Structure 1
Amino acid sequence: MTYPQSLSWQDVRDKFKTIWGYDDFRPPQGEIIRSLLAQQDAMIIMPTGGGKSICFQLPALLQTGLTLVVSPLVALMENQVQELRQLKLPAALLHSELPTSERKQTLQALEQQRLRLLYVSPETLLSEPVWMRLCQSYLKINGIILDEAHCLAQWGDTFRPAYRRLGAVRSALLQFKPPGTKIPIAAFTATADPTAQKTIQSVLQLQQPEIFRLNPYRQNLHLKLQTIWTPRGRKQTLLKFIQARPQQDGLIYVRTRRDGEHLAAWLRDKGYTTAAYHAGLSPQERRTIESDWISGKIAFVVSTSAFGMGVNKPNVRWVIHFHPTLLLSEYVQEIGRAGRDGKKSDALLLMSEPTGWLDPQDKQRQKFFEDKVRSQQREAQQLIRKLPATGEVNIVARQFPEGATALSLLHSTGQLEWQDPFHYIIKDRSPSQQPAQFDAVKQMNSYLRTRECRWQFLLRAFGFQENMRCGHCDNCDRSK
Structure 2
Amino acid sequence: MNADDFSDSMSWERVRETFKKIWGYDDFRPPQGEVIRCLLERKDAMIIMPTGGGKSICFQLPALLQTGLTLVVSPLVALMENQVQELRQRKLPAALLHSELSTGERKRILAALEQQKLRLLYVSPETLLSKPVWERLAQPQLKINGLILDEAHCLVQWGDTFRPAYRRLGTVRDALLKDKPLGSKMAIAAFTATADPFAQKTIQNVLQLQQPEIFRLNPYRDNLNLKVQIAWTPCGRKHRLLKFIQARPKQAGLVYVRTRKDSEELAEWLRKKGCTTAAYHAGLHPQERREMERDWISGKVPFVICTSAFGMGINKPDVRWVIHFQPPLLLSEYVQEIGRAGRDGKVSQALLLMSEPTGFLDSGDKQRREFFEGKLRSQQRQAQQLLNKLPKQGNINEISRKFPEAAIALSLLHSMNKLSWLDPFNYSIKPGEKSQSSNQFDAAKQMEKYLQTRQCRWQFLLNAFGFSQEAQKMKCGHCDNCRKRGLGTGD
TM-score (normalizing by structure 2): 0.97
Once the two structures are superposed, residues 287-331 of structure 1 have per-residue CA deviations (whole angstroms, 9 ceiling, x without a partner) of 000000000000001000000000000000000000000000000
Within 5 Å, which residues of 2 pair with 1:189-228?
Answer: 189-228=192-231
Tell me if the contact between 1:95 and 1:124 (Cα under 8 Å) persists in the aligned partners.
Answer: yes
1:471 to 470, 477, 480: 477
1:397 to partner: Cα distance:
1.4
Q: Supply the distance in 2 between the matched residues of 1:360 and 1:338 (Cα, whole angstroms).
A: 29
Instruction: Name the residue aligned to 1:303.
Output: 306
Within 5 Å, which residues of 2 pair with 1:377-416?
Answer: 377-416=380-419
Instruction: Name the residue aligned to 1:80.
Output: 83
1:253 to partner: Cα distance:
0.1
Instruction: Name the residue aligned to 1:90.
Output: 93
Q: Supply the distance in 1 between the matched residues of 2:431 and 2:379 (Cα, whole angstroms).
A: 18
Instruction: Name the residue aligned to 2:181.
Output: 178
**AA at the equivalent of 1:28:** P
1:432 to partner: Cα distance:
2.6
Tell me if the contact between 1:47 and 1:190 (Cα under 8 Å) persists in the aligned partners.
Answer: yes
Instruction: Name the residue aligned to 1:268.
Output: 271
Instruction: Name the residue aligned to 1:461.
Output: 464
Once the two structures are superposed, residues 355-395 of structure 1 have per-residue CA deviations (whole angstroms, 9 ceiling, x without a partner) of 10110000000000000000000000000000010001111
Instruction: Name the residue aligned to 2:437.
Output: 434
- Bigger drift between 395-404 and 237-246 goes to 395-404
1:324 to 307, 310, 327: 327
Within 5 Å, which residues of 2 pair with 1:361-376?
Answer: 361-376=364-379
Instruction: Name the residue aligned to 1:135.
Output: 138
SS class of match (1:425): strand
Tell me if the contact between 1:384 and 1:429 (Cα under 8 Å) persists in the aligned partners.
Answer: no
Once the two structures are superposed, residues 81-140 of structure 1 have per-residue CA deviations (whole angstroms, 9 ceiling, x without a partner) of 000000000000000111111100000000000000000000000000000000000000
Once the two structures are superposed, residues 244-279 of structure 1 have per-residue CA deviations (whole angstroms, 9 ceiling, x without a partner) of 111200000000000000000001111111111110
Tell me if the contact between 1:319 and 1:338 (Cα under 8 Å) persists in the aligned partners.
Answer: yes
Q: Supply the distance in 1 between the matched residues of 2:201 and 2:437 (Cα, whole angstroms).
A: 18
Q: Supply the distance in 1 between the matched residues of 2:119 and 2:434 (Cα, whole angstroms).
A: 45
Tell me if the contact between 2:93 and 2:118 (Cα under 8 Å) persists in the aligned partners.
Answer: yes
The answer to whether the aligner puts 1:26 opposite 2:29 as a matched pair is yes
**AA at the equivalent of 1:447:** Y
1:412 to partner: Cα distance:
0.4
Tell me if the contact between 1:381 and 1:431 (Cα under 8 Å) persists in the aligned partners.
Answer: no
**AA at the equivalent of 1:476:** C
Within 5 Å, which residues of 2 pair with 1:337-376?
Answer: 337-376=340-379
Instruction: Name the residue aligned to 1:333.
Output: 336
Tell me if the contact between 1:253 and 1:303 (Cα under 8 Å) persists in the aligned partners.
Answer: yes
Instruction: Name the residue aligned to 1:253.
Output: 256
1:406 to partner: Cα distance:
0.2
Q: Percent identity?
A: 75
Once the two structures are superposed, residues 34-58 of structure 1 have per-residue CA deviations (whole angstroms, 9 ceiling, x without a partner) of 0000100000000000000000000
SS class of match (1:8): helix
User: For the aligned residues, what is the CA RMSD?
Assistant: 1.1
SS class of match (2:277): coil
Tell me if the contact between 1:91 and 1:118 (Cα under 8 Å) persists in the aligned partners.
Answer: yes
Within 5 Å, which residues of 2 pair with 1:224-243?
Answer: 224-243=227-246
SS class of match (2:230): strand
Tell me if the contact between 1:275 and 1:301 (Cα under 8 Å) persists in the aligned partners.
Answer: yes
Q: Supply the distance in 2 between the matched residues of 1:420 and 1:73 (Cα, whole angstroms).
A: 24
**AA at the equivalent of 1:475:** N
The answer to whether the aligner puts 1:120 opposite 2:126 as a matched pair is no
Tell me if the contact between 2:416 and 2:437 (Cα under 8 Å) persists in the aligned partners.
Answer: no
Instruction: Name the residue aligned to 2:489.
Output: none
Q: Supply the distance in 2 between the matched residues of 1:114 and 1:280 (Cα, whole angstroms).
A: 33
Within 5 Å, which residues of 2 pair with 1:31-110?
Answer: 31-110=34-113
SS class of match (2:352): strand
Instruction: Name the residue aligned to 2:427.
Output: 424
Tell me if the contact between 1:3 and 1:37 (Cα under 8 Å) persists in the aligned partners.
Answer: no
Tell me if the contact between 1:253 and 1:305 (Cα under 8 Å) persists in the aligned partners.
Answer: yes
Once the two structures are superposed, residues 159-188 of structure 1 have per-residue CA deviations (whole angstroms, 9 ceiling, x without a partner) of 000000000100000100000001110000
1:354 to partner: Cα distance:
1.4
Instruction: Name the residue aligned to 1:159.
Output: 162
SS class of match (2:243): helix
Tell me if the contact between 1:323 and 1:362 (Cα under 8 Å) persists in the aligned partners.
Answer: yes
1:433 to partner: Cα distance:
4.0
1:2 to partner: Cα distance:
4.0
Instruction: Name the residue aligned to 1:9.
Output: 12
Q: Supply the distance in 2 between the matched residues of 1:3 and 1:88 (Cα, whole angstroms).
A: 27
Instruction: Name the residue aligned to 1:452.
Output: 455
SS class of match (1:246): coil
Q: Supply the distance in 2 between the matched residues of 1:374 and 1:21 (Cα, whole angstroms).
A: 50
Q: Supply the distance in 1 between the matched residues of 2:255 and 2:148 (Cα, whole angstroms).
A: 30
1:469 to partner: Cα distance:
1.1
Q: Supply the distance in 1 between the matched residues of 2:426 and 2:188 (Cα, whole angstroms).
A: 21
Q: Supply the distance in 2 between the matched residues of 1:447 and 1:354 (Cα, whole angstroms).
A: 12
1:5 to partner: Cα distance:
9.6
1:435 to partner: Cα distance:
2.0
1:3 to partner: Cα distance:
4.4
Q: Supply the distance in 2 between the matched residues of 1:92 and 1:4 (Cα, whole angstroms).
A: 26
**AA at the equivalent of 2:370:** K
**AA at the equivalent of 1:383:** L
**AA at the equivalent of 1:474:** D
Q: Supply the distance in 1 between the matched residues of 2:440 and 2:143 (Cα, whole angstroms).
A: 38
1:396 to partner: Cα distance:
1.6
**AA at the equivalent of 1:469:** K
